[in-house]
Amino acid sequence: MDAKTGDIELGRLPLTGDFLAGRLRRNLSLDDLNYIEELVESVEEHEDGTRLLERGVRTDRSTILIEGYIFRTIETKDKRFITGVHVPGDFVDLHGFALKRLDHNVDAAGRVKVGCVSHDTLRRVMRDRPGVARAMWFATLLDAAIHRKWIQTLEQLDAPRRIAHLYAELHTRLDLIGRSVTRALRTPFTQFDMADMCGVSAIHANRAVGKLRELGIAEIRRGDLYTSDWDALKEYAQFDPDYLYGDGPLKVKEDWD
């Protein structure tokens, strides 16, 4: 990712420093933040395309994304649908704690680093740390809000605007966690990935990318988006960040309101 981390807390909490950063993380005490960091029982690195969790397979742990991108995918016969993208700080399959089996796959998009938390540990969180439990509940509700917005963009926007909206969203999500992007937003996404995220064919996705270039809004090369005007790109995409529930810079409070 072409980004820099502006939150000095990340050096102290290297595994979970991005969790809910720029959002309700400010309602967690320093003790809570340290507690969340200690929840991570192991750290794994995976290569591009690794399936971290397969649809329908019982799971006894959840993962938080530390570095990289992760896709949620659904496959039917020879067709793949990408139904979500995760950035660092996301508890990717936290809802697996309640569901046990997911209705979709969890796949690495490029090289990733993840932290693993067992469901036994999450049970203790639910029992002993209501403030932390509420933060995790918020994280799952945020996932649902993003999912609803993806449905809306698929129904309302044409392919060039869908792609622009995808990158506008990623730009904002990275900014919320202190990984501000300037001219270039770097991703490992292929043309096929963009097509599967936007519900179009690869050929149609290529034409949509060409349209963004023709309009002078952005250029996408090998998954990396280059633009000199993020505001113009967001306006073109009809992007409204309210569904991301951003609260701005981190401000640690002693108690959860």
Mean local confidence (pLDDT), 89-106: 96
pLDDT at 251: 42
Q: Which long-range contacts (CB under 8 A, 24 or more apart) does 223-226 make?
A: 223/186, 223/187, 223/188, 223/189, 223/190, 223/193, 223/194, 224/2, 224/184, 224/185, 224/186, 224/187, 225/167, 225/184, 225/185, 225/187, 226/183, 226/184
* Tokens 């595994």 belong to residue: 15
How buried is residue 53: exposed, middle or buried, by Cβ count under 10 Å (0-12/13-18/19+)?
buried
Please give the single-letter amino acid code of residue 11. Answer: G
CA distance linking residue 188 with residue 110, whole number of Å = 5
Percent of the chain with pLDDT over 70: 92
> 247 or 51: which carries more pLDDT confidence?
51
pLDDT at 26: 83
pLDDT single digits (tens) 44-80: 999 999 999 999 999 999 999 999 999 999 999 889 9
pLDDT at 74: 97
CA distance linking residue 185 with residue 202, whole number of Å = 21
Query: Nearest Cα to 91, choosing from 21, 12, 158, 151?
Result: 21
pLDDT single digits (tens) 230-244: 999 999 999 999 999
